[in-house]
Chains A and B, each alone.
Chain A
Amino acid sequence: MRFVVRRVAFFVATLWAAITINFLIPRLMPGNAAIAMLGRYRGRINPAALHALEIAFGINTHQGLVSAYFSYLGNIVRGRFGTSLTFFPDAVMHEVLQALPWTLGLVGLTTILAFIAGTLIGLISAWRRGGMLDGVLPPIFVITSAFPYFWLALLAIWLFAIKLGWLPENGGYDVKTNVAWSWTFIADVIRHSILPAATILATSVGGWILTMRNNTISVLAEDYVRMARAKGLSSWRIMWTYAGRNAILPNLTGFAMSLGFVVSGAILVEFVFNYPGVGWMFLQSVENQDYALMQGLFLMITVAVLVAILAADIATAILDPRTRDSR
């Protein structure tokens, strides 16, 4: 029970911190850029919506900081993130929900894939300590984990799209294809996702490999692994249920901790590929000085990271009986 309470406190605190940061940043920045933005809204949206934006950015409010803060919290809780300037008159929430499936599909799937692949490779490489795999992979991945995502994306475009012409250069789908649930459209989406997905995969898998390898090596020195050997279990059984299952537990925590890094890289990959997801839209909103959209997306990214951490928590609880016990 204590575990659950602590995690809930953590989620609430993180969410609250992100919302508060959102509230404070426009107010702390000198020469408030949002004033200019609001000027462009005037007369185009109804007074109530304008007022909500004014609260969000701390302009023209006769409210004190504290009451403005609570109005803002109230708006966020009710899902009112304001109106997007770029996609006027659509609400921010509407735009965010449009971009979200693309990001979930690309970044979400590749992150899960990278985690699974990295965990498996790390486990095997530690199990075959000093073998071929173990001799080659760790040094390589130490280096690739230091690659800037966006730079690798540029290289991939240059090589596979421009030089070889195998795959499309950018976008989420070909504008000439009909957007519908048809096989041609799905195939087109997959074709467009290969390069960005491969980029994210290549740069993020190394981190999981290294941590899983190191965890496994520590676990292999544990008494229960020695005991499993003494019992004469098959190597397969020892590797999975004795070494692997224990080594993955800290890796799940590591997953939660490295996620911010992956998301940051993914934003840049979407930017480089003009991929119509949250990251691309986020940077578009920065370029268009669409602050309402930008801040809505920032919150969305934070929530996405929290959801992934929650998933890791649940997986930990399933795999580790010690966390299940309400102690």
Chain B
Amino acid sequence: MTTVTVEGHPGSEGPPVAEARRGFGIDLVRAIVRNKKALVGVALLVFFLVLALFPGQIAPDDGQAEIFQPGLGASWHHWFGTTAYGQDVLSQLIWGTRQSIVIAFAVGGLATAIAVIVGVSAAYLGGVADGVLSLVTDVILVIPIFPLIIVIAAYKKSAGLFTLIIVLGALGWSYGARQLRSQTLSLRTRDFLESARVRGERKLYIIVYEIIPTMTSLIVASFLGAALYAVLFAAGLQFIGLGDPNSQSWGTMLYWAENNEALGANMVLWAIMPGVCVALLGAAFALLNYAFDEISNPALRLRRLDKPPAPDRRDAAPLAPSSPENILEVRGLTVAYTSDDGPVIAVDGVDLEVARGEFLGIVGESGCGKSTLLYSITRLLGPPFSGEIVGGEVIFNGREIATLGERQLRHIRWREFSVVMQSAMNALNPVLTIEAQMRDACKAHSTMSSKEIADRSREVLRLVSIDPIHLKSYPHQLSGGMRQRAMIAMALLFTPDLVIMDEPTSALDVVAQRSLMAQIKELQRRLGFAVIFVTHDMSLVRHFSDRVLVMYAAQVSELGRTRQVFEKPLHPYTRALLDAYPSIHGPKVALRGIPGAPPNLGAPPAGCRFAPRCVHATARCQIAPSLLDVDGELVRCVLYEDAEVPAAAEARA
């Protein structure tokens, strides 16, 4: 963990909880303090700001006065020597800071203001206004601004500070506007905007109070980008003599240095130092810009877990499965994520077994660790989930795969177990045809000839009732249901022993869902592979799975035969889940939601994790319950510590 705490920095001790969408301010300060690049950028910027504000107090001399011997080298009196006109280079640099800072902030401000107005209104107004504004933005973006400024300066003979600011500001907004437009577009349909619209707020109010605050980081990035290019372009223009030759600026210094051939004439620092200043100020903006990118896009930040305690599990447990019937045995599997507030245990000591040909359903609310469990079993943790297996073992087909090297793992993948993901739209490579993606898998694991590969690809597509003609299609050319089937077909290329499915039907409508599930079940019976199936949909589990695992807050709360669990649910959470879903065949009962939400896994409740939401909670729930065996069913609840089924459960059954 690289948690840096800076004491006394304003805002750094702010509340650790992010305010939902409005409060970017405190988080932003916290994030800047934590980011080294941002800190360096801020330090450089503050340095130059101080120089720009108090040149009279800081500079040893007047920058313009020609009072020294010309062409002096570096010395204690003249750190960077003197110019060919006898001016002190250091003083000139310090006095010249002001102009760069003024240009940077004025252009940054002007360009950002235009970018916000154009970008947000284009996206928000939509239609013709959007078309026109976007076109203007794109055109301004590619018109070469620097040559254009040169043309303008050529007619005006020189471009003073004011001209520079106006022209750079009027032309430098397009990049920011583009970004802000697409960001606004993605926000447009969000709930909080919908609700503002329903409340009848005026458009302007929505834009100013609802949209703009959510885009702080993009607006800052737009400002920094414009400031950076303003500093560079202004220096370039002054360097070629199109600025005001009497102004005090770094670019003008470079112009005079070049005109006096300072580099050849041993006044090297005169020619180098102004460039160093431009580069450093530019670097300040570039570093801040980059850091903001990292802050607003957390995927760019690299987080590392504190090295987990060295696993000594290899000697502790035998490798062989406890039953030869089991294709998969998971023992004490624990997975941790890193977060800004410390490690988060997303899977906590999970045990489970899957027999050959068995259909196991895993249910639970979002954020209970179901997907993490799947991806740790399949060793697919990685970005965006920076999780790591920190304990336990996964025995698959007689091998311990939790610690297997990536290379050995590759040989097992897809041949012995395959994966079907929630959305084929995202899981299929958008730039390759279905055929190419099937060929990929075949080539990785076999020496099949092109013809054999093509034959097999056609065969598996037929298995899921897709016309093999679609082998030539790209994913975006298929309908949602077809994509999902194509992915399942791909998973069956080698007829693996285990297919792991992460909500494979949740992207489909109810009718398509049913028919696809029936097909999966049919294929499973025919081909004999085992299935682990994660879903929110209790009715799917009820109809298709042999056993059910109910997960709550990273732990197994109940595990048993489907029939038993549905008819006689033991855990209060399971009961609550069942009450929250309509039953298709059963009598009509009022549906009840589960009040509250799953706990934050970074700081789970001390005792029973469900206790805060449980209607049966008692003082005994303060102590974490262990998993109990009740008639062959596993349940984590103190109600069963005396191994007797309480009345409540029986009443419902």
Chain A residues engaging chain B, CB cutoff 8 angstroms: 9-10, 13-14, 17-18, 21-22, 25-26, 29, 32-34, 129-130, 138-139, 142-143, 145-152, 154-155, 157-158, 162, 210, 214, 217-218, 220-224, 226-234, 237, 241-242, 245-246, 249, 256-257, 259-261, 263-265, 267-268, 271, 282-283, 286, 289, 291, 294-295, 297-298, 301-302, 305-306, 309, 319-322, 325
Asked whether, in the complex, the Cβ of B143 is within 8 Å of the Cβ of A302, the reply is: yes
Establish whether residues A260 and B440, one from each chain, have CB atoms under 8 Å apart when the complex forms.
no
Are A295 and B275 also in contact (CB < 8 A) when A147-B282, A245-B431 are?
Answer: no
Q: Is B297's beta carbon under 8 Å from chain A? A: yes
B58 interface contact, C-beta 8 A: no
With a cutoff of 8 Å between Cβ atoms, the chain B residues found around residue A223 in the complex are 421-423, 426-427
- A213 nearest CB neighbor, chain B only: B300
Q: Answer yes or no: B478 CB below 8 A from chain A CBs.
A: no
Q: Are B147 and A232 in touch, CB under 8 angstroms? A: no
Measured in the bound complex, the distance between the Cα atoms of B135 and A146 in whole Å is: 29
Which residues from B are CB-within-8-Å of A228?
Answer: 429, 440
Q: What's the Cα separation between A18 and B147 when bound, in Å?
A: 11
Asked whether, in the complex, the Cβ of B143 is within 8 Å of the Cβ of A21, the reply is yes
Q: Within residues 468 to 492 of chain B, which ones have a CB less than 8 A from any CB in chain A? A: 474, 476-477, 490
**Residues in A whose Cβ lies below 8 Å from that of B383:** 217, 220-221
Q: B382 to A229, Cβ gap below 8 A? A: yes
Interface residues of B (CB under 8 A from A): 37, 135, 138-139, 141-148, 150-157, 175, 178, 228-229, 232-233, 235-236, 239-240, 242, 254, 258, 263-264, 268, 271-272, 274-275, 278-279, 282-283, 285-287, 290, 293, 297, 299-300, 302, 304, 375, 378, 380, 382-384, 409-415, 418-419, 421-423, 426-433, 440-441, 444-445, 474, 476-477, 490
Contact of A301 among B147, B286, B426 (CB under 8 A): B147
* Contact indicator A306/B150 (Cβ below 8 Å): no
Interface residues of B, dominant DSSP: helix
Chain B residues with Cβ below 8 Å from A256 are 142
- Can you list 23 A-B contacts (CB < 8 A)? A142-B37, A142-B290, A143-B279, A143-B283, A146-B285, A158-B263, A158-B268, A162-B263, A218-B299, A222-B426, A224-B427, A226-B427, A233-B444, A241-B429, A260-B144, A264-B147, A267-B146, A268-B239, A283-B150, A283-B240, A286-B153, A294-B151, A325-B474
Q: Across the interface, which residues of B come within 8 angstroms of A242, CB to CB?
A: 429
Cβ of A26: which chain B residues have Cβ within 8 Å of it? 155
Instruction: Evaluate whether A151 and B440 lie within 8 angstroms (CB atoms) in the complex, with A139-B37, A143-B279, A298-B147 already known.
Output: no
Q: Complex formed: what's the CA distance from A249 to B430 in Å?
A: 12
Contact of A162 with B264 at beta-carbon distance under 8 Å, contacts A221-B299, A227-B419 already known: yes
Q: How far is the CA of A234 from the CA of B421 in the complex (A)?
A: 20
Contacts of A130 in B (CB 8 A): 302, 304
Kindly report which residue of chain B lies nearest to residue A263, judged by CB atoms.
B144
Docked complex Cα distance between A17 and B174 (Å): 15
CB contact between A322 and one of B411, B430, B440, B441 (< 8 Å): that residue:
B430
Which 10 A-B pairs have CB atoms at the shortest separation, nearest pair first?
A: A146-B282, A232-B413, A264-B146, A151-B275, A223-B426, A221-B384, A29-B155, A230-B419, A223-B427, A232-B410
Q: Which residues of A contact B283 (CB under 8 A)?
A: 142-143, 146
* A324, closest chain B residue (CB): B474
